[in-house]
Structure 1
Amino acid sequence: MSNPKVQAVFFDIDGTLLGLKSKAIPDSTLEALALLKMQGIKIIVSTGRSYEHAQFLASYGFDGFITFNGSYCVDNVGKPFFRHTIDIDDIRLLHNHLHTIDNFPVGVMTTEGSFISDITDDVTAIFKLLKLEVPRPQPFADALETEVLQLNLFIDEDKEAHLINKVLKNCESSRWCPEFIDVNARGISKQIGMEQFFARFGLSAARTMAFGDGGNDIQMLRTAGIGVAMANAGDNVKAVADYVTDTTEDHGIWNALKHYGVI
Structure 2
Amino acid sequence: MLMNSNYKVAFFDVDGTLADNELPRELGIYGRIPESAKRALSKLKEAGIEPVIASGRNYEKIADFAELLGVDSVISSNGTYVTFQGEPVANHYLSTELVKEMVEQFQTKQTDFLLETPEEILEYAADELLPENILQFLCHCPKEDLPSLDTEKLIAEKVAPTALNIHYKHVSKASGVEEILQKMGISSDQALAFGDEENDFAMFEKVGFPIAMGNGNDELKAKASYVTDTVKNHGIWKACLELELFEEE
Unaligned runs of 5+ in 1: 117-137
Partner of 1:69: 78
Distance 1:70 1:192 in 2: 6
Instruction: Verify: 1:188 aligned to 2:171, yes or no.
Output: yes
Distance 2:156 2:198 in 1: 9
Instruction: Verify: 1:159 aligned to 2:144, yes or no.
Output: yes
Deviations 1:45-84 (A, max 9, x none): 111112210112123222411111221112333x323211
Partner of 1:109: 116
- CA RMSD in angstroms, aligned pairs only: 2.6
Q: CA shift at 1:207, angstroms? A: 1.6
Amino acid at match of 1:221: F
Task: Identify if the C-alpha distance between structure 1 residues 215 and 168 changes in structure 2 by more than 3 Å, giving closer, same or farther.
Answer: farther
Deviations 1:145-190 (A, max 9, x none): 433112222124x438x75xx4242212433432312222121111
8 Å Cα contact 1:245-1:255 kept in structure 2: yes
Partner of 2:201: 218
Mapping of 1:198-237 within 5 angstroms? 198-235=181-218, 237=220
Distance 1:212 1:185 in 2: 23
Mapping of 1:115-154 within 5 angstroms? 115-116=122-123, 138-139=124-125, 142=128, 144-154=130-140
Structure 1 counterpart of 2:63, from 45, 55, 59: 55
Partner of 1:120: none
8 Å Cα contact 1:189-1:216 kept in structure 2: no
Partner of 1:121: none
TM-score, normalised with respect to structure 2? 0.81
Distance 1:174 1:236 in 2: 19
Distance 1:159 1:3 in 2: 48
Q: CA shift at 1:215, angstroms? A: 3.9
Identity percentage over the alignment? Answer: 28
Partner of 1:29: 37
8 Å Cα contact 1:174-1:181 kept in structure 2: yes
Unaligned runs of 5+ in 2: 24-28
Distance 2:126 2:167 in 1: 16
Distance 1:139 1:155 in 2: 19
The number of residue pairs the alignment matches comes to 236
